[in-house]
Structure 1
Amino acid sequence: MNSEIVHASGPVLLVGGGEAKQSALAAAIGDVCAVVAADGGAAALLDMGIMPDAVIGDMDSLSPDRQAGLPPGVLHRIAEQDSTDFDKALRNISAPLVLAHGFLGGRLDHQMAVLTVLCRHPERRCVLVGAEDVVTLVPPCLTVAVPEGERVSLYPMGPVTGRSEGLRWPIDGIAMTPAGRVGTSNEAVGPVRLWVDAPRMLLMLPVACLGVLVDGLAHADGWPARAG
């Protein structure tokens, strides 16, 4: 039996309490099947006149007045303090893709925690959307039609190796680790294809590449859920 709070057959917009442009949120609304807020992210949506389908978190960032104004069944309080609100929300969304706004920018420790969650739940396909960058966990094989000359950064969150096509500096056979070799500031010389052997590699692209990244993820196989 499925235990998630939100079930959607198409993309879901997830909004956090960090930096998020109203114009970007408004543009994303038309392309998703559901809108979810992680705790204080609900305030940004409510300020735009948008009622989220669900608000998930420990509710330490959303004012009591805002909480009281939500319709019955929208607020889902998860009181445990062993995970972040992003973790609480992502693991409770069943959807082919989550577009997460309001999680990049601001405090660095918050951003690092968010990136860790991407690796903790590799079966949850998610793209973090910021003012300058989009970030996702690379699936086993991914093809993205990145324009020639565009920045492509790969960052390992743990030991991982892979191979590539379409990068100025290929990654074939390179053992990457956070404290060793990383793959930032690479460059596309054509459509980029990546293969990785573990769900530990982050792909970072300019925000203008969001569309081609989403298209590539739609045709990629995913990672299986981790035991436990």
Structure 2
Amino acid sequence: MQQPILQSEQPVTLLGGGALYPGDLDLALSHAPTLAAADGGARAALRAGHMPVAVFGDFDSLDDRSRAALPADRLHRITEQDSTDFDKALRNIQAPVVVAAGFLGARMDHQLAALSTLLRHCDRRCVLIGEREVVFHAPPRIVVPVASGDVVSLFPLCPATGRSTGLRWPIDGLELAPGGRIGTSNVATGPVGLDTDGPGLLVILPRVRLGDVIPALAAAPVHPARQ
């Protein structure tokens, strides 16, 4: 297996070239101070006064001025066209958690591709920041200390089963699937625990819970890498 290009013992912020909402970058960096970028995300980083330690992608969205401002040894060009820049970046970062901003919002196809990448790389711990929510792929086991009354949505990208605690409507015994039963708009009655029988389930929580999600995700086991 190829060694990740960026290895960090601390959480890493990954900045994409999509929609950034007010405070996104500062919020991510407050929890994950090491900054990397996916292609055009480097331009957004530079405009905000930050120099990423690594930039991944095919660089079709990175303008010449931004590229010239970046040290050559921080540019990691990956030319294959079978994956997105988010995919290229995520698979080349080894960190307790990747906090990704600039991947939700704007174009729907980009959002769907980002969510698909979470499943494709279910062996990586990553949380996406949106305007109002955060999204991550459910590991085999996790407990998130959300507050009673928080909206907790579970969305299957493929058939998924598991068990839950702390939800008004438990998922025990249910078969969740796209085009079938889904688990959106559930409500927390306290800290939420999830045990999943395999990969495929996305967890969507209020944005204010990011600080709770990161340590919970960092402490959770991961699913085996998909072949």
Structure-1 residue corresponding to 2:61: 61
1:185 Cα deviation from its structure 2 partner: 0.3
Compared CA separation, residues 213 and 31, structure 1 to 2 (3 A): closer
* Structure 2 Cα separation of the partners of residues 46 and 132 of structure 1: 25
CA shift digits 1:134-176 (9 cap, x unpaired): 0000011110111001100000000110111110111101011
Structure-2 residue corresponding to 1:163: 163
Structure-2 residue corresponding to 1:108: 108
1:33 Cα deviation from its structure 2 partner: 4.8
CA shift digits 1:188-228 (9 cap, x unpaired): 0111111111110000011011111113213211112233x
* Aligned partners of 2:13 and 2:32 also within 8 Å: yes
Amino acid at match of 1:141: R
Structure-2 residue corresponding to 1:71: 71
* Aligned partners of 1:168 and 1:188 also within 8 Å: yes
Structure-1 residue corresponding to 2:154: 154
* Range moving further from structure 2, 98-107 or 69-78: 69-78
Amino acid at match of 1:99: V
The ranges of structure 1 where at least 4 consecutive aligned residues each deviate by more than 3 angstroms after the TM superposition are: none
* Structure 2 Cα separation of the partners of residues 191 and 22 of structure 1: 28
3-state SS, counterpart of residue 73 of structure 1: helix
* Aligned partners of 1:9 and 1:33 also within 8 Å: no
* Structure 1 Cα separation of the partners of residues 86 and 60 of structure 2: 13
Paired-residue identity, %: 53
* Range moving further from structure 2, 34-43 or 24-33: 24-33
Gaps of 5+ in 2: none
1:28 Cα deviation from its structure 2 partner: 2.7
Structure-2 residue corresponding to 1:10: 10
* Range moving further from structure 2, 60-69 or 121-130: 60-69
* Aligned partners of 1:152 and 1:204 also within 8 Å: yes
* Structure 2 Cα separation of the partners of residues 30 and 160 of structure 1: 33
Compared CA separation, residues 31 and 208, structure 1 to 2 (3 A): closer
Structure-1 residue corresponding to 2:211: 211
Structure-2 residue corresponding to 1:25: 25
> TM-score, with normalisation over the residues of structure 1?
0.96
Q: How does 1:102-141 map to 2 (within 5 A)?
A: 102-141=102-141
* Structure 1 Cα separation of the partners of residues 160 and 48 of structure 2: 41
Compared CA separation, residues 191 and 198, structure 1 to 2 (3 A): same
* Structure 2 Cα separation of the partners of residues 44 and 200 of structure 1: 31
* Range moving further from structure 2, 16-25 or 166-175: 16-25
3-state SS, counterpart of residue 35 of structure 1: strand
> TM-score, with normalisation over the residues of structure 2?
0.96
1:5 Cα deviation from its structure 2 partner: 1.2
* Structure 1 Cα separation of the partners of residues 158 and 226 of structure 2: 15
* Range moving further from structure 2, 69-78 or 148-157: 69-78
1:36 Cα deviation from its structure 2 partner: 0.6
* Structure 1 Cα separation of the partners of residues 45 and 214 of structure 2: 23
CA shift digits 1:13-48 (9 cap, x unpaired): 000011123523123324325211000001111001
1:2 Cα deviation from its structure 2 partner: 5.2
* Aligned partners of 1:22 and 1:48 also within 8 Å: no
* Structure 2 Cα separation of the partners of residues 33 and 9 of structure 1: 11
